[in-house]
Structure 1
Amino acid sequence: MVQTDDPELKDSREKHFGSQSVGDDGWLNKQWATLIWLALVVWALWLSGLGRSPIVNWNGLPEVGRFWLAMFHPTLTVEFLGVMLAAAGVTLAFAVCGTACSLVIGLVFGIASSRVWWRVFWPGRTGWLWWTGVRTVLSIPRAIHEWIWGLLLLSVLGLDPLVGVLAIALPFGAITAKVFSEILDETPTAPLEALINSGVKPGRAFLYGHLPQALPNLISYGFYRFECSLRAAAVLGVIGAGGLGYQIFLSAQSLQYEELWTGFYALIFLNGLVDGWSGWLRKRMGFVGRMALTETAPSRQISDSGLESDPVAEGSRRVFSQRGQRWPVLLSWGAIALAFPTCLAYLDIDWGRLLRARSLFADIIVQVTPDKVLPNFSFELLPIALQTVAMSVLAITLAGLGGVLFSFPAAQNFFLPGGVLHGEGEREKGSAGYLGLWVSRLVLLAARAIPAPILAFVILLGMLPGMWPGVLALAFHNFGILGRLMAEVNENLPEGPVRGLRSLGASAGGVVFYGILPANLARFLAYSLYRWEVCLRETVIVGLV
């Protein structure tokens, strides 16, 4: 039995796994981090050739005009709409099945790659080695984009729906495991340690004392991962896996811009539907946001009976105690439970194909062993790798800045009547605020719904080949994702201090720069750095366009 009150055991855990403190800034202060990032941006701008070589294709501007004019008259024939509806069903089925598989993988390996798990079950150097080994193994599938997984699986399994599901499940399972492990590590361990000290077995203590606290954040991230899977399913269509991405790619290749815009509108509608439904369900369940990468569990309050209460748990109990709100939530969870088997039946997946292709998988594994790969390594790849890093730096910088700017009009608690940036006498003036809210949210939705490779193809109509079409495509796509995440951070900001500044006479700009940005900047940076890792993977597929 593991006892956490043993001083030697505690020292061993902290020596190998580090302390469980959250919010430590680390050894690198903010000023040096800012200077290093600015230096990276300057280096990336120089490497991109900005100002030293032409980037605009002036001869392609008439084609760009044709593309934008087609936005106002998309193809709406009954036959083509039927094709797009069937393609949307395939895309949604890929996303559902891929998400379900990735969440199972993520939960199992998220627990196995969390520090708190090994602290409890196997403290000391041996546990640290297992923890390091699991995280190292998970970094391999996480580093390979789902498009590359799709191409690899396509060569083994052929044109089969299983390709689309596994191409999403494998990399997203590793990404989900990483995020789940961070959520588990940032969850307070006091209940877990109390149960273990009381004689409860570690496994049962982890199940009843730690997982329930982390469950709201795990479920919220699961919804976010479903939205990512929907976008990934569209990307996989480009390699022939089917779905909306495949139809959009065919229209783009044949320069049928009217059909291309029909596909864009279908993607935007499908992503908006999923985004709205998941947001509604999360709010009904009492969950705060999609992601909680740096956010600890909500503070507990003392109830009238003298016991601690969890605000999230209390909010969930209130939801299920109200009959009018309970049934829609239960129906939604029932639909979630039925979605996976329904989509499996719709795709008609033959899981036995994996067993029949196991010899081909074995051959591929043999070909990627270090003794096969390292002799073929060439330093000629170094300039290409540096370009990849430079593209990702520029893209995530532009996306982050744009996301911060759009996060304010896209948040419901700033410019609407009664918002924190309005004075008491301005509560009735809100038409501009509502217009800004819907326009900014529509722009963010369109940006994140359209896959980056398709965006790169469109941008290439008016730009010369080089780094900048990829940079702009990645920047615009990630801007849509970051802007929505940052808007949620703004919406969840405690309004008391901000309204206090406003009541003392601070201008709207002063409230933003001295009240809102300092409070939310850490979350903004955390999301941007998280997306930078994803953006680095996406540069590979954008480069192929």
Structure 2
Amino acid sequence: MAAVQAGILEQDLVNPGGFPQLLQFVRGSWHPELSPEFLHLTLKATLTTLAYAACGTGLSILLGVIAGVVTSEIWWLTVLPHWTLRQPIWLFIRGLLAFPRAIHEMIWGIFFVSIWGLDPLVAIMAIAIPYGAIVAKIFSEILDETPRDALIALLSSGVSPFTAFVYSLIPQAFSNLLSYSLYRFECSVRSATVLGLVGAGGLGYEILLSLQSLRYEQLWTFFYTLVLLNGVIDISSVILRRSINFKVVLILVVLCCWSFWYVSPDVSKFWSPRTQKLLGDIAQASFPLNFQAVPLSELGQLSLQTLGMSILATAGSGIGGIVLSFPAAHNFWLPGGLLNPNPKVTSLTGLQGWTILILTRTVLLFCRAIPAPIWALVVMFVMFPGILPGAIALGLHNLGTLGRLMAEINENLDKPPLEALKSHGTPGLLLFLYGIFPMNLPRFLAYIFYRWEVCMRETVIVGLVGAGGLGVLLTEQLSSFDYPSVGVTLICFVLLTFVVDWISAVVRASIQ
């Protein structure tokens, strides 16, 4: 059904006239622009993207910690245990935070550009608001799952509820929050790149300019820079997560302070009369919502197309991620690995194993380092606009993320049972089919359904570059400043996201 919605059975999918341009694009990868002036521009754009990500992540953590405490069930049970309105207010606040979480940061970026222009504040707040809501959800779950023995002991000894909460649960949950913050920073770098497409500056903006002017040598320089930047951040994040301590906190604080200094956002725009006037004008122009502007049948069809795009992208990236996760894991093809047919360590087997590992990890890194809208623009060299190019773009981007996550699952296998089977001479194929794969499949599926939620949010951003679905309709409405219709489309998209989130959560709970 998703394939039919994507238009696979239609005739006009491929654009033969785009193949020469695609060939020029590929040729540009062999000789990227390396002039000193251009490398200086690339470095400046890279630092800007990094600073946006650091500022947005830092602010999202501050917002997320406050909102996470307020939306945690244990907070209300501790501070106001006997209040009759506790449950409905708690549910209302949790539901309220779901809206900014469902709207992609690129949509927030477009909104803030219309108010603040091209100020760095646009990128920072576009990252901070949705990511703050996401951090709040994760932190509230961390708090609710934290052991409560220390909290109960302090409350029993007469300590005030607020003091007991702060001194018992927060220190226990802090390391998990910090570890998640490092992961969120990796995501922020990619989001900061995407926001460049709406004029926020940084690598994304330079990529867009090079793509529009067909300067593919410059484009590949930016691509290689993105891959290098994401690789360095991934490795640094893994190292820092293994040793969570005060030094890690100090490094992150220094990075955030430097980033705010480097981009120098004009925070006075928060309370400037111009901002208040523009917000008032947009609010006045947005209400009442125009539910007659788009026929219900068309809105339903576009919603089905968007859902089909997310399903195709998730299925493709899930299957590809499973396949590539095994050669990307350290404990499979390297000497002494579970699937290495030759147990003896030789220079040849070592070289083969490391070659497979590095090539696979490089492919996964390249896929996730390039934002989905950029992949969509590249795919549309040779395909006509529609939801199939969008699904391919989302699939490629999420393939990199899923492949990496699944490789980590493979590396964390319970090895003793598998090693015992291997020592008894069990062939590698049987070891894989009856041991490794069944053990990992439930966690693979859990990650796939989690990424389906992410793909659903990201369908709107590939739609903004013409890849089909509700994103195309939203682009038309934004370009014509039809805010009453924009509100209706966003409500439709948010409801669709809630449905996907609910289905995903139910399936993941049943798998676990």
| Superposition TM-score, scaled by structure 2 size | 0.84
Partner of 1:114: 72
Give the structure 2 partner of residue 449 of structure 1.
369
Q: What's the counterpart of residue 181 of structure 2?
A: 222
Q: CA deviation at 1:505?
A: 3.2
Other-structure match for 2:215: 256
Partner of 2:234: 275
In structure 1, which of residues 33, 47, 50 is the aligned counterpart of residue 5 of structure 2?
47
- Cross-structure match for 2:58: 100
**Equivalent residue number for residue 414 of structure 1:** 332
In terms of mean alpha carbon deviation, does 222-231 or 117-126 score higher?
Answer: 117-126
Distance change in 2, residues 1:394/1:358 (3 Å):
same
Alignment match, 1:203? 162
Which residue is 1:310 aligned to? Answer: none
Is the CA contact 1:367–1:373 (under 8 Å) kept in the aligned structure 2?
Answer: no
Q: Distance in 1 between matches of 2:168 and 2:430?
A: 43
Per the alignment, do residues 117 and 500 of structure 1 end up closer, same or farther by CA in structure 2, a change over 3 Å counting?
farther
The count of residues paired between Structure 1 and Structure 2 equals: 459
Matched, 1:395 2:395: no
Deviation at 1:509, TM superposition (A): 3.0
Q: Deviations over 1:407-451 (max 9, x none)?
A: 111122222222233478334433222111111111111111111
Q: 1:231-277: per-residue Cα shift (whole Å, max 9, x none)? A: 01111111111000001000101111111101101111111111111
Shift of 1:492: 2.3
Moved more, 525-534 or 374-383: 374-383
CA gap of 1:342–1:525, structure 2 versus 1, over 3 A, is: same
Alignment of 1:159-198 (within 5 A): 159-198=118-157
Are the structure 2 counterparts of residues 432 and 119 from structure 1 closer, same or farther at C-alpha, using a change threshold of 3 Å? farther
Instruction: Return the letter of the residue paired with 2:375.
Output: L
Residues 421 and 502 in structure 1, CA contact (< 8 A), matched pair in contact too: no
Give the C-alpha shift of residue 82 in structure 1. 1.2
Match of 2:289 in 1: 372
Alpha carbons of structure 1 residues 260 and 359: separation in structure 2 relative to 1, 3 Å: same
User: Which whole-Å CA distance do the structure 2 matches of 1:375 and 1:523 have between them?
Assistant: 44
Question: Is it true that 1:519 corresponds to 2:439 in the alignment?
Answer: yes
Per the alignment, residue 303 of structure 1 pairs with: none
In structure 1, distance between residues paired with 2:198 and 2:6: 28
Whether 1:535 aligns to 2:493 is no
> d(CA) in 2 for partners of 1:499 and 1:172?
42
Instruction: Find the counterpart in structure 1 of residue 496 from structure 2.
Output: none
> After superposition, where does 1:304-383 map in structure 2 within 5 Å?
330=247, 333-356=249-272, 357-368=275-286, 371-372=288-289, 374=291, 378-379=295-296, 380-383=298-301
What SS does the corresponding residue of 2:394 show, helix, strand or coil? helix
Cα distance in 2 for partners of 1:158, 1:478 equals 31
Does the 8 Å contact 2:57/2:184 carry over to 1?
A: yes
- The alpha-carbon distance between structure 1 residues 59 and 517, as it changes in their structure 2 partners (threshold 3 A), is same
Deviations 1:479-535 (A, max 9, x none): 111111221222223322222332333333333333333333333233222222221
* Cα separation, 2, equivalents of 1:237 and 1:76: 22
Equivalent position amino acid for 1:455 in 2: W
Alpha-carbon distance change, 343 to 375 in structure 1, aligned in 2, over 3 angstroms:
same
Counterpart of 2:19 in structure 1 is 61
Partner AA of 2:155 in structure 1: I
- Taking a change above 3 Å as real, the CA distance of residues 400 and 161 of structure 1, as seen in their structure-2 partners, is same
Residue by residue, what CA displacement relative to the aligned partner does 1:23-50 show, whole Å, maximum 9, x if unpaired?
Answer: xxxxxxxxxxxxxxxxxxxx10121121
- The reply on whether 1:384 has 2:384 as its aligned counterpart is no
Query: Which AA in structure 2 matches 1:509?
Result: L
* 1:86 maps to 2:44: yes
CA distance in 1, matches of 2:417, 2:195: 46
Whether 1:476 aligns to 2:396 is yes
The residue number in structure 2 matching 1:13 is none
Partners of 2:163 and 2:323 in 1: CA distance: 46
Q: Secondary structure at the match of 1:417?
A: coil
Letter in 2 for 1:349: P
CA contact (8 A) 2:7 2:388 kept: no
Change (3 A) 1:334 1:348: same
**Aligned with 2:289: secondary structure?**
helix
**Hey, what does 1:15 align to over in structure 2?**
none
> Normalising by the residue count of structure 1, what TM-score does the alignment of the two structures yield?
0.79
Partners of 1:493 and 1:152 in 2: CA distance: 45
Deviation at residue 452 of structure 1 after TM alignment: 0.8
* Alignment partners' CA distance in 1, 2:434 and 2:449: 23
Consecutive unaligned residues of structure 1, counting only runs of 5 or more, are 1-42, 286-315, 317-328
Structure 2 counterparts to residues 137-148 of structure 1, below 5 A? 137-148=96-107
Q: Are the equivalent residues in 1 in contact too, given 2:186–2:230 (CA < 8 A)?
A: yes
Structure 2 unmatched ranges of 5 or more:
466-512
Following TM superposition, where does structure 1 have runs of at least 4 consecutive aligned residues deviating by more than 6 angstroms? none
**Hey, what does 2:111 align to over in structure 1?**
152
Shift of 1:460: 0.6
8 Å contact from structure 1 (residues 146, 168) kept in 2: yes
- Identity across the alignment (%): 47
User: Aligned partners of 2:51 and 2:343: how far apart in 1?
Assistant: 50
Conserved 8 A contact 1:423-1:502: no
Shift of 1:366: 4.8
CA RMSD of aligned residues (A): 2.2
Q: Where do residues 437-516 of structure 1 align in structure 2 (5 Å cutoff)? A: 437-516=357-436
Indicate how the Cα distance of structure 1 residues 212 and 487 shifts in structure 2: closer, same or farther if over 3 A, else same.
farther
Letter in 1 for 2:261: A
Equivalent residue number for residue 247 of structure 1: 206
Amino acid in the other structure paired with 2:130: P
| 1:24-35 aligned within 5 A | none
Structure 2 Cα separation of the partners of residues 414 and 191 of structure 1: 42
Letter paired with 1:522: P
Verify the 8 A CA contact 1:392 1:539 in the aligned structure 2.
yes
